[in-house]
Structure 1
């Protein structure tokens, strides 16, 4: 078997530099929240494939469903000849969305879901403009990247971008951006840049993912809802990273009591298999003409089988309850660490979507990007996979599978604690 270094050499010869890789290792196998590389070294996984593995890696129930389906039918293209599992997934997503009489369709990736949600909103309203938020992340395809509120590295060198995209300020009390400030920034767009009667949609993450796990206040979401209602704008909630139970409810927006018009989902609904969805109010979802929506691989039979198994695992193992307990475990330990290390300027999140922010000398206005990078590297040396995020790359996010044993989570947090101590943070 090849070593990590041999595989890295082959990788660098075959792939362009734009495809980044956080760690110079290649995985051989995994079990729930543990992974082993090709040289046999074990790692605790606090990344979860970037929020894809809420039910764990190689979940036995999901694996069995995939194996059964793969032996029967692996592809037809639903737009050509259909299969029941696609319909079953949509029925389940509709019921879980909380949107009365919801309708949905399936695609392959989060970016694809976002782009299709915008298409639906434009078809319904007959308008073109879209408002997103600074710090938001909505994908890497051209329109989704245009909606993303961070330039480097996502937009660097890829312009020009589609017109009609505007960014407002996302509320962040830690950094002095209030809900009033955020709503005022939308009103300023209406005053200076775009007629609200030309806006098809406002797209918002209830918890910003790449932006640093910043939680949208309930009041903010309520006021965005009110603005959308006042101007006939479609409210799109991007639940690609926060959804599928990560925050302790199936959708993060459920905890606000606000009902969106359209929801995008992906990542963990497929249990590791490529699946994404657009879910929304029926009158909006029916706007595109027949043939206007779809895709060759959207709702692939194997991915649908995986999703149906994911739903069953959530119900059988009470994973929403587990998410809330895991969130308490993570937040409790991290708050304790914050009391010992002044560089931790904030611990935040919703459910098990938890992060901590690092500031130089405890100053929230001095993002400690170098320290964050060093912490990720040192944790890796000790066998823990961590991910950084945030507009200034100074936030550590935890996306450990919801199925991880509490003792394993504590083991990972012990590594974080030792790394902070060794770095003198």
Structure 2
């Protein structure tokens, strides 16, 4: 079969030829305002025409440095060659049959790859879906079926999606939950091991915080829910929308052991942290934690919509035939993209690259913190780094206004950045793992300028 020629590679330079957003983007944004529901927000209305590596090219010809990756989706970069080739080949053969009607090999191949890559050497099964929220909902369904229990425990500052059940699991009201209730029942919330904001955290070691946070978790679950009523605990090994909160070492292991002891399934939500983002295939590997179920999406398919639940065979197979699925779940094009993305991660060793990116960012961000006492903490792992802004070194009052202003300044200078955090006071960085160092350094120069511009 004749393949389409590759588009020219996107030049890996920042170049501003208009203001950002430019005139053509503003025209498109006017069209958006008259046709797209206003509830769909846009962070930076610079409309993208092409992308590759660490650069987004907008319709005005501006080359923007990408520190967002579409919220950790394009980890292998936009239009990665292995993804493009596989998708082009697949789209010429068939675009859809519905795996539940007449199956195809790509779905099986992705599930085989997930069994190989996810933590643990036990027998595994997977089911494929379209979005992270779908994966989380189905993980809860599976956990309830296997255990015969109903309660699910989530954490403070958690984010798990925008569907009814996942909104119940999500901790942040605005913009995710406000006005959308009532939410699904039998969902409970426990304290998160958030070192910066743990009571007395500034005077305690991370080991002490891990112990206290685990004790608080156990107390809440035991007294308010009951172990024998709890189907699952769902946890992000590093919280995403909650502000890239990294729990202290040992806390996640304690949770895992506790769940195992009481017949509670541990669901690791690795939708943002998975597929090399943190320097391991999955973030829970950092502490040798093997979850019973793991949910994935975002970075697994190079930008195409695909999600999965992977877990112990006896757990996954506890659901009756026909109980899992969906018309588009595991679409052939998305499966082809996932296989191309995984190939790229392996051949380019993007786990090692994520660790290199962390060293570069941490060095620069630590120096930035020395200049600006409003940076209360630099945190993250791999190419998932963040800074939290507060009123000052002895005042943890969140500074969402300054954070938003810094974010806006970065945008105007051609750097795509994102905010996060329960209080909106975290600036997060998620560059594509294939970004060259010179773009990362230039992007961090822009970040430094933005801090100086806003904070002085």
Fold conserved (TM > 0.5)?
yes
Q: Secondary structure at the match of 1:136?
A: coil
CA contact (8 A) 1:343 1:363 kept: no
- Match status 1:134 vs 2:165: no
2:382 paired with 1:351: yes
Q: Secondary structure at the match of 2:101?
A: coil
Please show how residues 214-233 of structure 1 align to structure 2 within 5 Å: 214-233=245-264
Q: Name the CA distance, whole Å, in 1 between partners of 2:395 and 2:151.
A: 34
Output the TM-score relative to the length of structure 1: 0.97
Partner of 2:224: 193
Structure 1: state its 5+ residue gaps: none
| Partner in structure 1 of residue 410 of structure 2 | 379
Say whether residues 1:166 and 2:195 are aligned partners: no
Q: Secondary structure of 1:167's match?
A: strand
Which residue number in structure 1 is paired with residue 4 of structure 2?
none
Residue 158 of structure 1: CA displacement?
0.6
Q: CA deviation at 1:2?
A: 8.0
Match of 1:9 among 16, 30, 34: 30
Q: CA deviation at 1:179?
A: 2.3
- State whether structure 2 residue 51 is matched by structure 1 residue 51: no
Q: Mapping of 1:318-329 within 5 angstroms?
A: 318-329=349-360
CA shift, 1:196, in A, is: 1.5
1:157 corresponds to 2:179: yes
Q: What 5-or-longer segments of structure 2 have no aligned partner?
A: 1-21, 200-208
Give how far 1:362 is off.
3.5
TM-score by length of 2: 0.91
Contact 1:205 1:216 survives alignment (8 Å): no
Q: Give, in whole Å, the separation in 1 of the partners of 2:279 and 2:222.
A: 38
Secondary structure, aligned partner of 1:366: strand
What is the CA deviation profile of residues 347-368 of structure 1, one whole-angstrom value per residue up to 9, with x for unaligned ones? 1111111111111233451111
Contact 2:376 2:389 in 1 (8 A): yes
Which residue is equivalent to 2:125? 103
Show the counterpart of 1:263: 294
* Native 8 Å contact 2:210 2:249 kept in 1: no
Query: For residues 298-335 of structure 1, what are the alpha-carbon distances to aligned partners after superposition, in whole Å with 9 as ceiling and x for unaligned?
Result: 11101111111111111111111111111111111111
Question: Aligned runs of 1:10-409 on 2, under 5 Å?
Answer: 10-99=31-120, 100-177=122-199, 178-409=209-440
Structure 1 runs of 4+ aligned residues shifted over 4 Å read none
Measured in 1, the distance between the counterparts of 2:140 and 2:442 equals 42
Find the residue that maps to 2:176 and give its secondary structure.
coil
Equivalent position SS for 1:69? helix
Give distance in 2, aligned partners of 1:81 and 1:119: 24
SS of corresponding position for 2:396: coil
CA distance in 2, matches of 1:191, 1:260: 21
Q: How many residues align?
A: 425
